[in-house]
Structure 1
Amino acid sequence: MKVLQLIDSLEVGGAERVAVNIANALSTKIEGSYLCATRVEGLLKDSLDESVNFLFLNKNRTFDIKAILKFSKYIKEEGIDIIHAHSSSFFLATTIRVFNRNIKVVWHDHYGNSEFLQNRKFKILRICSSYFNHIFTVNKALEQWAIENLKTNSVSYLPNFAVINNEVRETILDGEEEKRIICLANLREQKDHLTLLKAFKKVIEKHSDWSLHLVGKDFADTYSKMIKTYILDENLNHHVFVYATKSDTLHILSQSTIGVLASKSEGLPLALLEYGLAKLPVIATRVGECLEVIKNNYNGVLVRSENPEELSKTLIEYIENKELRDKYAFRYHEHIQSNYTEAAQIKTILKVYNNICH
């Protein structure tokens, strides 16, 4: 069996990391594991295992005939059996499927605004979905939505899994050791950094020696400017540090004390799983599959979204109770190791691949 993961870019993000993780994991399980980045390469290219075959299309627009023909030729020459398309790359996968009925298409839905599915535009997706052999979703809400709105008969929820490799040690976090709060999240509105900043402002009124570290892609857009303006206007620039995209996740987390996500909406965030692998105590909002991953007041704490008061109170409780932090962190690490590992999810993926190929 030969399977190709299809993704728009290899910049650091949740869907991109999943595509790389699956391609790497499959490289020792099947005849050929491939990954194609259609529009942009990126930092995650360095995370690809040497045994994964890589193709970059440099696709510039939706109907880039040159890129489509190049991709089609590659699929035929390599004898690819399955295209596992992630997020918006479903359109290119469908195009190839229309002209080659032997190709099987699996679509992986990473839609981040699953709390606001009523606003999702999906006319083209619905048409393309009749060509999908299976759909994986990153949370149960998306699974139900796909069953109700798309034309694919086979749909299932597939929990993300995190892999932290021994990476380079480049990033040195500012602030005092043992007093750092980390938020791994691209600067997108759904991640709601503003609520986190409002909560942290209350935290440093009591604990001015603590710092907050925001690590994620900066899109240099209106949201990014709003976050940076708030940091300056509220005189938080000596306590809050923004790092943009980084690849040395393990090294960053090893310097951190508390892991937090303040999202308005989520699928199953990889950051939350990575916090667990790094043995951090965690706080997240009650959205998406965060409720499934964190057992509230047992291995972490869940708070209401867009509620800086509740978030600040929880952060302060963690800061003032190291014993609680350590207890939750231990339990959370054990939970992630037992339920969100590579082995279990790859077994599920391979079962789907085998079913659609026979």
Structure 2
Amino acid sequence: MKKIKILYLIDKLEVGGTQRHLSQLLAALDRQVFQPEVCCLQRLGPLADDISGRGVPVSCLGLKRIYGPRAYAALRRLARRIRREGIDVIHSYLFSANIFGAWAANLAGVRSIASKRDMGFETTRLHKRASRWVNRNAHIVTANSQAVARHILEEGGIAGDKIKVIHNGVPDERFRIPDTSETDTVLAKRGAWRAGRPTVGTLANLKPVKNHIGFLKAARRVLAEVSEAQFLIVGDGPLRADLEAAAASLGIGDRTTFFGEAADPRPLLAVMDVFVLCSLHEGFPNALLEAMAAGRAVLATRNGGCPEVVRHGRNGFLIDPDDVGSTAGQISRLLRSEDLRASFGKAAR
């Protein structure tokens, strides 16, 4: 039987939820049926070695933008490559790759799948028009939650039966709780960390939409109620220096550890007593699923796809990202009750 050749197109392979999702998808893909390869628009990134190590070819176009003479030339080369290699399907992830992928597929005469995984950050008229163009021209548009599917319909340019909802998932065996002694040793070198203290953590790239400033403001209130608490922020990004300064100005710098990027979040999730996601917008966050799979007690933002997996008061708490007082109160409640944390963690798995 001829294998189905799929070209996965993505902006870059940095450490992020979408990129980790793609890496896990490629690991689980049936190689007797599918023959995958990956192409990055901009640059490779740290997950490229992980993917290529599984025998999946990884290439890069090296584009800074998806318009202009250089981009158009790359588009034509990609279309020729698709025809030459007999690619059957282009499956794209993230805004720029969705546009480029649908365009290249049309030129090459093959089918395309565009994946949309958030509630839309396209604020300009041009970006909104581009998103509707993708909706019209991709053969299938996947959404990672019912909330994202509704958003795609609101964008326009698409019939409902063209949208396929495929929720994110995590392999259960990956999130069995590991021994944390080595993690404690690594964290102890970061200065603020102390093993044995009740720990509130979050896992997300340090970008405005993830609302780490809301997390830090809630952390200050928690510390006033639970004096032995400490806070762990896993992830990196353009706001790191600003957030470190904010933690210091809020008086919690000596209780807050900024770990940075982590390709494998399991050992860090294992030391968290409570996991918090304060994002302003979410599609269906992998970090939340990973925390729940690890048996953590979770608080998640009450928007996007989070309410599709967190049942308030049953396997976690839903919070309004701008309600710092309520968020802090729920965190403190969980820190004070080991039984409630255990109950939420068991139900979350």
TM-score normalised to the size of structure 1? 0.83
Give the share of equivalent positions with the same residue, in percent.
23
Which sits farther off after the overlay, 262-271 or 61-70? 61-70
Instruction: Report the Cα distance in structure 2 between the residues aligned to 1:106 and 1:306, rounded to whole angstroms.
Output: 35
Give the match for residue 208 of structure 1.
Answer: 227
Instruction: Report the Cα distance in structure 2 between the residues aligned to 1:286 and 1:190, rounded to whole angstroms.
Output: 14
Does the aligned pair in 2 maintain the 1:264–1:285 contact within 8 Å?
yes
Instruction: Report the Cα distance in structure 2 between the residues aligned to 1:248 and 1:118, rounded to whole angstroms.
Output: 35
Aligned residues: 327
Q: What is the DSSP-based 3-state SS (H/G/I as helix, E as strand, rest coil) of the residue aligned with 1:246?
A: coil
One-letter amino acid matched to 2:142: F
Q: What is the DSSP-based 3-state SS (H/G/I as helix, E as strand, rest coil) of the residue aligned with 1:238?
A: helix
Equivalent of residue 16 in structure 2, options 6, 13, 17: 13
One-letter amino acid matched to 2:262: K
Give the match for residue 53 of structure 1.
Answer: 57
In the alignment, structure 1 residue 123 sits paired with structure 2 residue 129: yes
One-letter amino acid matched to 1:133: H
Does the aligned pair in 2 maintain the 1:113–1:190 contact within 8 Å?
no
Residues 269-300 of structure 1: CA deviation (Å, up to 9, x unaligned) = 10110001211111112111111111111111
Q: What is the DSSP-based 3-state SS (H/G/I as helix, E as strand, rest coil) of the residue aligned with 1:58?
A: coil
Instruction: Report the Cα distance in structure 2 between the residues aligned to 1:193 and 1:261, rounded to whole angstroms.
Output: 9
Does the aligned pair in 2 maintain the 1:262–1:284 contact within 8 Å?
yes
Residues 246-275 of structure 1: CA deviation (Å, up to 9, x unaligned) = 212112112222211111211111011000
In the alignment, structure 1 residue 254 sits paired with structure 2 residue 245: no
Give the match for residue 136 of structure 1.
Answer: 142
Residues 142-178 of structure 1: CA deviation (Å, up to 9, x unaligned) = 31232343334411222111247499x9863333236
Does the aligned pair in 2 maintain the 1:27–1:33 contact within 8 Å?
no
Which sits farther off after the overlay, 194-203 or 211-220? 211-220
Q: Do the aligned partners of residues 148 and 206 (structure 1) sit closer, same or farther apart at CA in structure 2, a change above 3 Å counting?
A: closer
One-letter amino acid matched to 1:40: R
Does the aligned pair in 2 maintain the 1:91–1:128 contact within 8 Å?
yes
Equivalent of residue 72 in structure 1, options 52, 63, 79: 79
Does the aligned pair in 2 maintain the 1:178–1:255 contact within 8 Å?
no
Which sits farther off after the overlay, 37-46 or 139-148? 139-148
Give the match for residue 289 of structure 1.
Answer: 305
Instruction: Report the Cα distance in structure 1 between the residues aligned to 2:203 and 2:32, rounded to whole angstroms.
Output: 30
Tell me by how many angstroms 1:214 deviates: 1.0
Equivalent of residue 37 in structure 1, options 29, 36, 40: 40
Mapping 1:87-102, distance limit 5 Å: 87-88=94-95, 89-101=97-109
Q: What is the DSSP-based 3-state SS (H/G/I as helix, E as strand, rest coil) of the residue aligned with 1:282?
A: strand
One-letter amino acid matched to 1:184: L
Mapping 1:293-304, distance limit 5 Å: 293-304=309-320
TM-score normalised to the size of structure 2? 0.85
Does the aligned pair in 2 maintain the 1:131–1:152 contact within 8 Å?
no
Does the aligned pair in 2 maintain the 1:265–1:288 contact within 8 Å?
yes
Tell me by how many angstroms 1:305 deviates: 2.0
* Structural RMSD (CA): 2.6
Tell me by how many angstroms 1:120 deviates: 9.2
Structure 2: 5+ residue stretches without partners: 188-192
One-letter amino acid matched to 1:159: H
Give the match for residue 258 of structure 2.
Answer: 242
Equivalent of residue 209 in structure 2, options 184, 190, 193: 190
Instruction: Report the Cα distance in structure 2 between the residues aligned to 1:242 and 1:212, rounded to whole angstroms.
Output: 9
